Structure 1
Amino acid sequence: MRRPTLTDIARAAEVSTATVSHALNGTGRLSPATRRRVRETATALGYGATVRTRTRTIGVAVTTYPRAWNYTEVAYFSRALTAATAAAHARGYALTTLPADRAADDTWHSLAVDGMLIMDSPRGDPMVQALRARGIPLVFDGAPGDPRPGDHWVDNDHVATTREVLDHLAAAGARRVALQSGNGDEHYARVVTRTYEEWCARRAVAPLVIPFDEGDDEGHAFDEVLGRIDAVHAVYDPGGRQLLAAAARHGLRVPEDLLLVCASEDPGYAETEPPVTTVTFYPERTARTAVSLLADLIEGERPAKGQADAACPVLVPAGLRPRASSRRRVMY
């Protein structure tokens, strides 16, 4: 007997041959009912490809710091990865989370993925270079350190968000706002710091940038400046607790003596004393958008209008969540 072809299956299932190909290979945007009907038809006709289908795979990695660290313990990445996994499964993909210390080895030259979601990629990222050379579709969470025409990424408007935070602190009475920012090479730290310095320049105030150290639980980096500032914008998750610890050691009160805003997804900041004003970057929305875009690229879908010829981000709005730490208490 003649072996059935894709055309035979398409005719019997009353679909196109492209739909048959997607159904048998686990790709494309098909309804579960259509995918099941095509596969059942192929089985009934004796088509052997149904037993050779595989689940396509999306890889995820954070490559800002090329060392061993468990980024899944950070609230932003934990929430983003959960949402990314659900979004990948909804499109028929497995999602593989890769260790942070693999960016400098040879893993990327042989990694078996159909596409890669890269978070916080710095300039000169060796993992990006290797995957580009292999032609692996890439989508970035946060602007890539070395963007190229045609790159795709999902990010927040960090300029607008930083200005909103600083204006919020100024409206609450702050006159000398310090920024606690990273000295890493990721796009986020560079943009926030530059925006802060420009904001200070417009007010003829000298900027004061305090380096972030994730191991500084007691906030000793603030020791030399606490007498000269009345507000802090901490741009990384632990920064708010570090400032609270430093203020307690120096006998300063938040918010009476110091105002505080921290960029963090940690719900525990709503329970501190005082509750800390936070900035959320909505990691679930960012991750779902990035996975959807990456799946489209893997499946050969046309990119969104305006992204075909030049590097262009998809922006997800951030949100300021005011709490007691950035509100002066009125004394009667």
Structure 2
Amino acid sequence: MSGPTLADVARAAEVSTATVSHALNGTGRLADSTRRRVREVATTLGYSSRRTPRTGKTLGVVVTTYAGSAWNFLDVPYFARLLTAATATAHAHGYALTILPTTCGVETPWHTLAVDGMLILDSPTDDPVLRALRARDIPLVFDGRPVDPKPGDVWVDNDHIATTREVLGHLAASGARRIALHAGYGDEHYTRAVTRTYEQWCHEHGLTARVLTFDPHDTSGHGFDAVFAARACDAVYTIYDPGGRQVLAAAARHGLWIPDDLLLVCASEDQTYAENDPPVSTVTLHPATIAETAVTALVSQLSPTAPPPPPGALTVPAVLHPRHSSRCRARPGSTRPGASPPNTMTG
């Protein structure tokens, strides 16, 4: 399959072919800015040396939601559990698993990456990493539906429409009438699908949609101050793991009791939510099952004898675990123990 040549990259980057070769192979004495610019141009053009040998027994994993940003996804229980299961599954099939850092961006020399297949987690819109890997014709399987899937793409995901409707129905049945969604941070399919479903559900039920933007650095939950001070919402569904702790912190600061004043459901794999006072309702996306399914599908693509996985979605059901934080509200006249809301994490 034809594609951009070394000369094309040199011409676009306004450097010599020798400079391109040194920049892409990590050799020579080049300024960091030059090396970075050449790699960015090569990735943008979709250049591949196509001479890099496949290893025969190595798979790669990359989280591209915030590719290029330095963040530790292993601190997030979802990713930690997924990657542990992915490693075990790869090893069971006789493959090594290389986990790439989040700092891998467009300047990374993807054209020389020696892997046989790649598992991509949460690919966002216009993903430069995905573009570079497609240029290499490396077999891919996605955790989460790609924003712009191509014919033949395989992905493993939850049914976010059904799950979101289940959570909202559960909160409404528990008495919520002003449900806020805590999302709007990423640009991957998960965030888009949940937000779109939430807005549709609110429209169907004649309710005002209120999407609050998640900030991973807002540990005190100040993003909730305005709505909590105005009592503008009586329930929150937060779709990122730290979001539940942010809601609890903000609710305690504003004197809101959970679940009497505010209902809460958090999508999280963190077991400490179940140990909180009060125990927090969670949605598990079953990342270990997703990993096992995705790695097995990727290995099937690489096997000369195994039947390839069918294109499209392989669905892993998510599960809502209702706990005290989203149960029916206390009846009028109930006595609240203590002098302040016990809405803090104990784990």
Q: Which TM class, normalised by the smaller chain length?
A: 0.7 to 0.9
**Cα distance in 2 between the residues matched to 1:81 and 1:201:** 38
Equivalent in the alignment of 1:33: none
Contact 2:259 2:330 (C-alpha < 8 Å) held by counterparts = no
Q: Give the superposition deviation at 1:104.
A: 2.0
Contact 1:275 1:325 (C-alpha < 8 Å) held by counterparts = yes
**Cα distance in 1 between the residues matched to 2:291 and 2:72:** 18
Contact 1:69 1:100 (C-alpha < 8 Å) held by counterparts = yes
Equivalent in the alignment of 1:197: 199
Partner AA of 1:282 in structure 2 = H
- Structure 1 residue 139 corresponds to structure 2 residue 141: yes
Equivalent in the alignment of 2:242: 238
What is the number of residues matched between the two proteins? 274
Aligned residues with identical type, % of pairs = 61
**Cα distance in 2 between the residues matched to 1:181 and 1:127:** 24
**Cα distance in 2 between the residues matched to 1:79 and 1:107:** 28
Equivalent in the alignment of 1:182: 184
Q: Give the superposition deviation at 1:329.
A: 4.7
Partner AA of 1:59 in structure 2 = G
> Helix, strand or coil: the match of 1:58?
strand
CA offsets 1:139-166 (integer angstroms, 9 cap, x no match): 0000112210100000000000000000
> Helix, strand or coil: the match of 2:255?
coil
Counterparts of 1:74-93 in structure 2 under 5 Å?
A: 74-93=76-95
CA offsets 1:33-54 (integer angstroms, 9 cap, x no match): xxxxxxxxxxxxxxxxxxxxx7
Equivalent in the alignment of 2:214: 212
**Cα distance in 2 between the residues matched to 1:274 and 1:61:** 36
**Unpaired runs of at least 5, structure 2:** 1-54, 335-347
Equivalent in the alignment of 1:316: 316
Contact 2:124 2:188 (C-alpha < 8 Å) held by counterparts = yes
Equivalent in the alignment of 1:290: 294
Equivalent in the alignment of 1:304: 309
Q: CA RMSD in A?
A: 1.2
**Cα distance in 1 between the residues matched to 2:122 and 2:330:** 41
**Cα distance in 1 between the residues matched to 2:247 and 2:79:** 23
Counterparts of 1:124-135 in structure 2 under 5 Å?
A: 124-135=126-137
CA offsets 1:258-284 (integer angstroms, 9 cap, x no match): 000000000010111111000000011
> Helix, strand or coil: the match of 2:227?
coil
Partner AA of 2:256 in structure 1 = L
Contact 1:263 1:279 (C-alpha < 8 Å) held by counterparts = yes
**Unpaired runs of at least 5, structure 1:** 1-53
**Cα distance in 1 between the residues matched to 2:70 and 2:329:** 43
Q: Give the superposition deviation at 1:123.
A: 1.5
Choose which of 156, 160, 163 in structure 1 pairs with 2:162. 160
Q: Give the superposition deviation at 1:304.
A: 3.4
Counterparts of 1:238-277 in structure 2 under 5 Å?
A: 238-277=242-281
Contact 1:104 1:127 (C-alpha < 8 Å) held by counterparts = yes
Contact 2:174 2:329 (C-alpha < 8 Å) held by counterparts = no
Choose which of 182, 199, 224 in structure 1 pairs with 2:226. 224
> Helix, strand or coil: the match of 2:226?
coil
Q: Give the superposition deviation at 1:134.
A: 1.0
TM score, norm. by length of structure 2: 0.77
**Cα distance in 1 between the residues matched to 2:113 and 2:283:** 35
Equivalent in the alignment of 1:35: none
Deviation above 4 Å: which 4+ runs of structure 1? none
- Structure 1 residue 173 corresponds to structure 2 residue 154: no
Q: Give the superposition deviation at 1:102.
A: 0.3
Equivalent in the alignment of 1:43: none
Contact 1:182 1:211 (C-alpha < 8 Å) held by counterparts = yes
Q: Give the superposition deviation at 1:90.
A: 0.6
CA offsets 1:221-255 (integer angstroms, 9 cap, x no match): 11111211110000000111100100100011000
Choose which of 116, 120, 123 in structure 2 pairs with 1:121. 123
Partner AA of 2:321 in structure 1 = R
Equivalent in the alignment of 2:152: 150
TM score, norm. by length of structure 1: 0.80
Contact 1:55 1:92 (C-alpha < 8 Å) held by counterparts = no
Counterparts of 1:57-68 in structure 2 under 5 Å?
A: 57-66=58-67, 67-68=69-70
CA offsets 1:206-230 (integer angstroms, 9 cap, x no match): 1000000011011111111121111
Q: Give the superposition deviation at 1:125.
A: 1.1
**Cα distance in 1 between the residues matched to 2:74 and 2:249:** 25
